[in-house]
């Protein structure tokens, strides 16, 4: 059964999860970094065509299917499109051996109590059913923490677990992502509150349920080890959060059991102007380095 195989692949963690889920607001920036300026398209349809071409180029690269990428997070329009005539999620699993996830959040509320909560997700049930039918294994939902505000962080974690319960009820694996902004002065304090709140909710989950967590790289190495070791956590992945790929890899390698789920840091240095050979070589180098950081055996005392 594919789901059992996919769960085992994610749980083993012998690799990392590629985040290919840039949506409306972040797509123009992603295209610029890829060497495509905004004057190359005149509307959203053309913009999404171009970003899908970029994602398809990544997914079809031999470097992407060499076993070092164990999962990939897709944007909804990517799920709805195909690669060489095969639906994207199906192509990922059957042709590349990569477990497909779907970004389901629809943006953030204005900041309050030092956090930005998830906006409502219209038609959530229908979206989850459609994702399940398309072969999606799990979902990702991102909210953001800007300050060590206990009330705000408690609210954001509660919202994440409430949404996660809905995802689980539809037969999908939730990746809960309460991101801590890496540039805030009280980042370590925010992480301490976040860890305690996450542990509280994890302890309340039924014994037959698990979630995944996607968190900013911590200020103190191995700070999230109690989360990684928790029986209700299938896997804990890290976002690059504004660090360069090299910086993120150095920090990640110091965190035992934490694997990458990088977006911008994955595609850093790749462009539409590169030949296929140049592109594949750049992607292979990025994947090799991120994989090494994700599977590093280095243990640093917390």
Question: Which residues are identified as catalytic?
Answer: 177, 214
Residue 191, both tokens = 């992480």
Question: 274 in helix, strand or coil?
Answer: coil
| Kind and range of the H or E run holding 277 | helix 276-294
Both ends of the chain: CA-CA distance in Å?
A: 39
Question: 214 in helix, strand or coil?
Answer: strand
The bridge status of strand 233-239 relative to strand 173-180 is: unpaired
In which region does residue 256 sit, left (phi positive, over 0), alpha (psi from -120 to 50) or beta (all else)?
beta
For 297, residues 6+ apart whose C-beta sits below 8 A from its C-beta are 256
Give the integer Cα–Cα distance in Å for 219 and 160. 22
Closest C-alpha among 201, 184, 12 to residue 97: 12
Which long-range contacts link 245-248 to residues 24+ away (Cβ below 8 Å)? 245/286, 245/289, 245/290, 246/289, 248/217, 248/293
């Amino acid at each position: 059964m594919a789901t059992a195989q996919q769960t085992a692949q994610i749980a083993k963690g012998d690799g990392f999860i590629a985040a290919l889920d840039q949506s409306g607001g972040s797509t123009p920036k992603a295209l610029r970094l890829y060497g495509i300026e905004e004057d190359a398209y005149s509307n959203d349809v053309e913009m999404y065509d171009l970003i899908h071409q970029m994602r398809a180029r990544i997914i079809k690269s031999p470097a992407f299917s060499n076993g070092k990428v164990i999962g990939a997070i897709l944007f909804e329009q990517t799920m709805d499109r195909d690669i060489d005539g095969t639906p994207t999620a199906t192509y990922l699993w059957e042709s590349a051996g990569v477990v497909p996830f779907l970004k389901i959040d629809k943006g953030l509320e204005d900041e309050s109590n030092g956090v930005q909560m998830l906006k409502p997700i219209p038609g959530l049930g229908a979206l989850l059913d459609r994702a399940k039918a398309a072969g999606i294994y799990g979902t990702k939902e991102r909210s953001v923490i800007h300050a060590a505000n206990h009330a705000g962080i408690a609210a954001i974690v509660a919202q994440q677990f409430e949404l996660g319960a809905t995802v689980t009820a539809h037969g999908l694996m939730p990746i809960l992502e309460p991101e801590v902004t890496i540039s805030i002065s009280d980042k370590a304090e925010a992480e301490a509150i976040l860890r305690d709140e996450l542990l509280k909710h994890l302890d309340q989950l039924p014994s037959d349920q698990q979630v995944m967590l996607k968190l900013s790289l911590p200020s103190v190495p191995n700070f999230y080890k109690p989360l990684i070791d928790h029986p209700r956590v299938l896997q804990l992945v890290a976002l690059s959060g504004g660090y360069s790929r090299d910086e993120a890899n150095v920090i990640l390698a110091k965190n035992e059991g934490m694997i990458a789920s990088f977006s911008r840091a994955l595609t850093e240095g790749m462009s539409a102007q590169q030949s296929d050979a140049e592109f594949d070589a750049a992607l292979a180098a990025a994947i090799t380095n991120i994989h090494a950081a994700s599977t590093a055996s280095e243990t640093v005392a917390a």
